[in-house]
Homo-oligomer: A and B are copies of this chain.
C-alpha cells in the first residue's frame, strides 16, 4: 500500500488536528506510510497546544485525490465536513465519535466510532489494542484533544472513558490536566483580534438536516460580551454566509467555558424551528441556552429532530 493521508474535519479544532497526528504516528509505528494533514487554519487553542508540545502543524491541503488514492478520516465522517474531493478517493478507515450521516462507501472498511467525548479517547485504545507505546508528545496532544472536546471534563459529552484515558495520558505526558487545560482553553478564547468573518469560521460545521442546509458555529469565551458586543457586525457576515450558501439556518453558539452556558445568535428562514427545538424565544435574534456547551450532544440532535419532523 502506498502513502495514505489522514485528516480531521474542515475548520479543524484541537481534536481534528491532534487525532490526525496521533493516528498517523500509530500507523507509522505499525509500518504504514501515513501523513497527517489539515483542511483549514489552526485555531488559537490548537496553536497553543502544538507550541507547548513543540510539534509541527500538519500540512494544509485543499484536495487529496491529486496526491493519494485512499485516505483515513478521523473525528468526522459527513461529506460536507470533509475534504472537497472526498468522493474521488477511497476511505479506508474512520475513527470518530460523531453521528454517522451523509457517508457511504462502495466496499467494506474499518470504522470505529464510539459515543465518547473525544476521538483521541478511541485512538488511545487503538494504541493499546495494537500494543504500540504512546510517546510523551503524542500523549500530550491526545490529552489536549480530550480537554478541548470535553471543556476540561465539564461537557455532557464527557464519559468515564474520556476521564480514564485522560488520566492515563496525564501519567505518560507528565502534564497536569487542570492547570495546563485551563491555560489551553483560555488561549482559544482570545477573540479581540479576530474579524467577524474569522469568528464565525473558527469552528463551524455544515449539516444537512432533512431538507434544510444548516451551519452551526461555536466560539468559546470567558465573557459572552467579548463576542455579543459585536452582534451587528456578526449579523452582517452571517447573513452574507446564508445568502452565499443558500442556508436555511445559521446558529452561532457563544459558549462561556467558565459558566458552561451558551448564548446563541440564530439567523435564517428556519429560525422559528430553532426556537421550537431549543424551547426558547429569540430576543433580537439571540437566546440563552442554559447549560448548553456541546454542539454534538445538545444542539445537533435537537435541531435534527425538529427539522426532520
**A residues apposed to B, CB below 8 Å:** 97-115, 129, 296-297, 300-301, 304-305
Most buried by B among A98, A107, A296, A301: A107
Q: A100-B103, A104-B100 are in contact. Are A111 and B112 (CB under 8 A)?
A: yes
This chain's copy number in the assembly: 2
Partner of A100, one of B111, B112, B296, B301: B111
Give the distance in Å from the alpha carbon of A297 to the alpha carbon of B105 in the complex. Answer: 13
**Complex interface: chain B residues within 8 A of A106 (CB):** 99, 300-301, 304-305
Q: How far is the CB of A27 from chain B (nearest CB, A)?
A: 15
Chain B: minimal CB distance from A30 (Å): 15
A305–B105 Cα distance when bound, in Å, is: 11
Partner of A99 from B101, B109, B114, B301 at Cβ < 8 Å: B109
* Cα-based distance from A106 to B102 in the complex (angstroms): 11
**What is the minimal beta-carbon distance from A82 to any residue of chain B, in angstroms?**
14
Q: Which 9 A-B pairs have the closest CB atoms?
A: A111-B113, A108-B115, A101-B104, A99-B105, A106-B304, A107-B301, A106-B301, A100-B105, A110-B114
How far is A112 from B98 in the complex, measured between Cα atoms in Å?
13
Residues of B within 8 Å of A114, CB to CB, are 108, 110-111
Shortest A132–chain B CB gap in Å is: 16
B110 touches A115 (CB 8 A): yes
| Nearest CB on B from A83, distance (A) | 18
Cα(A114)–Cα(B98), bound, Å = 18
Q: Complex: how many Å from CA A101 to CA B105?
A: 6
Residues of B close to A301: CB separation below 8 A = 106-107
- Measured CB to CB, the nearest residue on chain B to A208 is B104
